[in-house]
């Protein structure tokens, strides 16, 4: 496993739309482990593949309950609202109030290629939606009401 360089705001890759993952192979599994290690080292709760320079639909999250891996995630449903401070490993030192849905229902593949569905609220919902935004080239600062 290795620490990856986290791309910072201004890097063009952070604004690109990611491609679907078509195969879960040894290289992808190594990337997933590297992303987890990088996220923990940076004290983050989530990290998306474009943040380490890889344009694949993949992110990892750990809000303190163990790591979750999302490959080719799809948001199925959202509901409610919550407002809270958000930051991002690609914008170190920056935080802003962001309004997001309080509930999300999503589906994805895990690192074993198994499809799962997750329903989340509050912090986990926020983290899923924040990381999923990265896969579409959207940063949390794009969601700040000015």
Q: How far is CA 135 from the centre of its chain?
A: 8
Residue 46, beta-bridge partner list: 61
The pair of three-digit structure tokens given for residue 1, joined into one six-digit string: 């496993």
Catalytic residue among 20, 85, 114, 131: 131
CA distance 144 to 146: 6
- Please report the pLDDT score of residue 145 as a whole number: 80
Backbone angles phi, psi at 56, to 5 degrees: -125, 150
Residue 64: count of CB within 10 angstroms of its CB: 7
Judge whether 37 counts as a catalytic residue: no
CA distance 1 to 49: 15
Scan for tokens 């849905």, then name that residue: 101
What architecture (CATH level 2) is domain 12-143?
Alpha-Beta Complex (3.90)
130 is an annotated ligand-binding site residue: yes
Cβ–Cβ < 8 Å for 50, 18: yes
- Please report the pLDDT score of residue 110 as a whole number: 98
18 is an annotated ligand-binding site residue: no
pLDDT digit string, tens, across residues 16-75: 999 999 999 999 999 999 999 999 999 999 999 999 999 999 999 999 999 999 999 999
Residues 6+ apart with CB under 8 A from 131: 46, 47, 48, 59, 60, 61, 70
């Amino acid at each position: 496993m290795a620490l990856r360089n986290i791309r910072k705001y201004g890097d063009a890759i952070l604004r690109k739309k990611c491609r679907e993952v078509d195969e879960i192979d040894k290289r992808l599994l190594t990337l997933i482990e590297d992303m987890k290690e990088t996220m923990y080292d940076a004290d983050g709760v989530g990290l998306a593949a474009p943040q380490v320079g890889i344009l694949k639909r993949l992110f990892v999250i750990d809000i303190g309950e163990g790591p979750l891996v999302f490959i080719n995630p799809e948001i199925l449903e959202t509901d409610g609202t919550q407002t809270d401070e958000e930051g991002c490993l690609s914008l170190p030192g920056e935080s802003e109030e962001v309004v997001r849905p309080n509930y999300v229902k999503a589906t994805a593949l895990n690192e074993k290629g198994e499809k799962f569905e997750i329903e989340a609220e509050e912090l986990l919902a926020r983290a899923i939606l924040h990381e999923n935004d990265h896969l579409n080239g959207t940063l949390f600062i794009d969601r700040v009401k000015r």
